[in-house]
Structure 1
Amino acid sequence: MVPYFQSLLPTTTAQGGYLPHWLLFISVVSIFNSVQTYSTPDLSLTRRVYESAPRDQITPLSARTFGTWTFITSIVRFYGAYYLVGNKQIYELCMWSFAVAGGHFISEWLYFGNCKLGKGLAGPLIVSSLSLTWMYLQKDFYLA
């Protein structure tokens, strides 16, 4: 049974590497996050990220819009997990998805003031900065 599940995981280079598995993991987590924005009227998870925003700005519509944006990035990262090795365009597209996400959260924190550094913002900042840095440092490994 285990070999079957291993066949579902993305392949890497002959030398190994875990970045495709990380992209798959982040993609799946993002899909669940997106589904949550559509399936529950409770906005507590969205409010946790945008903790400093006025309550009337965090609406079901804004949560669903954010969920749609998150779902699109999860599709890009899912494709990246399976087609990253040797594919410069997919690699760079994945990198840009993390750069845009990180830029969004940093601007909401430092410029717009809708986020504050805490539990809600820590996850997105850690994932975007870690992933972007990892991808930048390993670009030659995966695209050689």
Structure 2
Amino acid sequence: MSASAFLDTWIPAGALPKWQLFIGFTALFNTAQNFLTLNFTRRIYNGTPPNEPVTRLQARTFGVWTLASGLVRLYAAYHIHNKQVYDLALFTYLLAFCHFGSEIFVYRTARFFGPVITTVIVSTTSLVWMISQYDYYVKTSI
């Protein structure tokens, strides 16, 4: 049995639920690293001014946010046809997009072409994908 066929027995068919599952598990890894080390978080928030370092408290707070959004995304992988769950998952990407956008362009604590670019790509791709597939996953099941 292929991995895709195995996943189809547990989550709804389609690439978007699998994406939600992948991103949700990625968030769990990111949560753990935020509690264990500052290395990855410091790489994300590497802008100016450099005299505002990433603290352990900030990393743990970011870790809790990441855990919450990751759990919503994991739940969405299994309940992708539920409008409320779909909307919550979509909003987690919108919040991430706004957060990282403000850190790059307003507060300048992250550099656009630094490691933060992956979070911008994931949030943007996910937003566009979820908005474009809304009718398929939600409205057809209402």
| TM-score using structure 1 length | 0.87
Equivalent residue, structure 2, for 1:59: 55
Q: Does 1:89 align with 2:84?
A: yes
Q: Does 1:38 align with 2:39?
A: no
Using the alignment, how far apart are the partners of 1:36 and 1:8 within structure 2?
Answer: 31
How many residues of Structure 1 are paired with residues of Structure 2 in the alignment?
137
Q: Is the 8 A contact 2:11 2:78 kept in 1?
A: yes
| TM-score using structure 2 length | 0.88
Using the alignment, how far apart are the partners of 1:90 and 1:99 within structure 2?
Answer: 14
Q: 2:99 is aligned with what amino acid?
A: H
Contiguous gaps of at least 5 residues in structure 2: none
Displacement after TM superposition at 1:57 (Å): 3.2
Alpha-carbon spacing, 1:55–1:82, altered in 2? closer, same or farther (3 Å): farther
1:78 aligned to 69, 74, 78, which one? 74
Alpha-carbon spacing, 1:95–1:115, altered in 2? closer, same or farther (3 Å): same
Q: 2:127 is aligned with what amino acid?
A: L
Equivalent residue, structure 1, for 2:7: 6
* Runs of 4+ that moved beyond 2 A: 1-9, 53-57
Equivalent residue, structure 2, for 1:116: 111
Secondary structure in 2 matching 1:120: coil
Equivalent residue, structure 2, for 1:135: 130
CA RMSD of aligned residues (A): 1.9
Displacement after TM superposition at 1:118 (Å): 2.0
Using the alignment, how far apart are the partners of 2:132 and 2:41 within structure 1?
Answer: 31
Structure 1 stretch 18-27 or stretch 115-124: which is displaced more?
A: 115-124
Equivalent residue, structure 2, for 1:27: 24
Q: 1:11 is aligned with what amino acid?
A: P
Q: 2:86 is aligned with what amino acid?
A: Y
Per-residue CA shift, 1:16-63, capped at 9, x if unaligned? x210000000000110010011123xx221111111153543011111
